[in-house]
Amino acid sequence: MTNVYQGREQTEAKHFILRRYLQTLAFKTLHGGWATLAYIDGFSGPWKSQALDHSDTSFMIAVEVLKDAQAKVRQAGKRPRIKCFFAEEDRDAFTQLQAAVAPHHDPANGFFIETFNGKFENAVGQIQKTMANSFALTFIDPTGWTGYEFDKIKPIFEHAPGEVLLNFMFDFVNRFSASSDLATLASFDGILGANWQERLDRSLPREVALMSLFTEQFWKAGKFEYVLNTPIEKISDRTHFHIVYGTRSAEGLAAYRDVEYAALKSHGMRRAAAREEIRESKTGQAGLFGAAEMASMAEISMEAQITSIRNKAKDWLREQLPTCPKPFSEIWPPMLDKFMLRKTDAKQVCVELGKAAEIKETWRLNRSKRRTPDDTDRIEPI
């Protein structure tokens, strides 16, 4: 376990997703023809940072990843520009933030950093200037549920091309949205929409119902093609927050699902190991399985869950067959949108249906040795 994240495993999972996805996005956009990448951090902090160099904060993770990506793309002869915008309302935290990032502001080499001391909602105009003529990723990581009302920050969400990662603090929202205080209940209107209490589907589990309202408002604010949410649990197996991702790109969808899988696998293993370490420290007795063995068992459990989800995706694809043939490029995006699967899982679903003689193995025609379909292969029933 990384020492700076001791007892903060959920924060480590969040930063894992941010780091991996930003790395993927930076290389894809900068190699793919975009000259400028903008990164917007709406609630920068630092909060509860345990590292002297703030390497366990979102803003320093972003600076590190983006500087590395810029340097590597330059080796290919390109001159990419990186623009970072960090907003923080708390004055003391902002002072630390400014001191940490100032040495990395390097306009001569195309690396720009702008800081803002104030409410994220009040920085929209400046952020739009930063995002102009760039591909943008916005990361919103509040300590609660206020400060990012969708009607106020809608221009940031609507920037195209652009994507959003948002930490929805479900645990706090779940507790305080059950309040009887009218002012507290009204404070959720900005992210759950007007009359949200009447619109909340009480026939569903509360977490599902709340996430449904939130993702609907998130989707409307950005007019996204795909909105995904990744639950991150505490050691106690209770959901702490959801990472919500919005994109208009099928390739972005595929990239995020890859990162999500790696993050949940790693987080599950860390949680299992941490639980065993806590148990041993409390009882003073070693368990039947050590921390490493518990982590391995968690990995096996996740693979079993993926297999179960793939089986559900098979049923979904069976329902689509009457509208086929379609190229695989029209099959995997809606599958990944609906199910927590990677593109490689979507291929495996097709392979298994092919072996069961439910669809044609078109990827093996003309003596092809390919074992899985690619985007141009037609998916059609026998």
Pairing of strands 226-233, 239-247: antiparallel
Q: What is the per-residue burial (b if ≥16 Cβ within 10 Å, else e) of 223-237?
A: ebebbbbbebbebee
Pair 111, 233 in one domain: yes
User: Is 111 within the bounds of a domain?
Assistant: yes
CATH classification at residue 8? 3.40.50.150
User: Is 284 within the bounds of a domain?
Assistant: yes
Question: In this predicted structure, what is the pLDDT of residue 288?
Answer: 44
Cα–Cα distances in angstroms (integers) from residue 20 to residues 91, 182, 324, in the given order = 30, 40, 35
DSSP classification of residue 325: -
User: Is 257 within the bounds of a domain?
Assistant: no
Q: What percent of the chain has pLDDT over 90?
A: 81
Average pLDDT over residues 284-297: 50
Domain boundary among 188, 215, 250: 250
Pair 127, 222 in one domain: yes
- Band (pLDDT 50/70/90 cuts) for residue 119 is very high
What is the average pLDDT score of the chain? 91
Pair 139, 284 in one domain: no
User: Is 193 within the bounds of a domain?
Assistant: yes
Question: In this predicted structure, what is the pLDDT of residue 268?
Answer: 72
Pair 307, 237 in one domain: no
For CA atoms 140, 145, 150, 155, give the dihedral sign.
Answer: negative
Q: pLDDT, tens digit, for every residue of 230-272? A: 999 875 567 789 999 999 999 999 999 999 999 988 877 655 5
In the chain, the number of structural domains is 2
User: Is 267 within the bounds of a domain?
Assistant: no
Say if residues 233 and 271 touch (Cβ distance below 8 Å): yes
Domain that holds residue 139: 3-250
Say if residues 167 and 243 touch (Cβ distance below 8 Å): yes
Question: In this predicted structure, what is the pLDDT of residue 272?
Answer: 53
Domain boundary among 181, 216, 250: 250
Q: pLDDT, tens digit, for every residue of 84-104? A: 999 999 999 999 999 999 999
* pLDDT higher than threshold 70 for residue 378: yes
Question: In this predicted structure, what is the pLDDT of residue 154?
Answer: 98
Question: In this predicted structure, what is the pLDDT of residue 271?
Answer: 52
- Band (pLDDT 50/70/90 cuts) for residue 279 is very low
First to last CA, the chain: 50
Pair 227, 354 in one domain: no
User: Is 120 within the bounds of a domain?
Assistant: yes
Pair 316, 235 in one domain: no
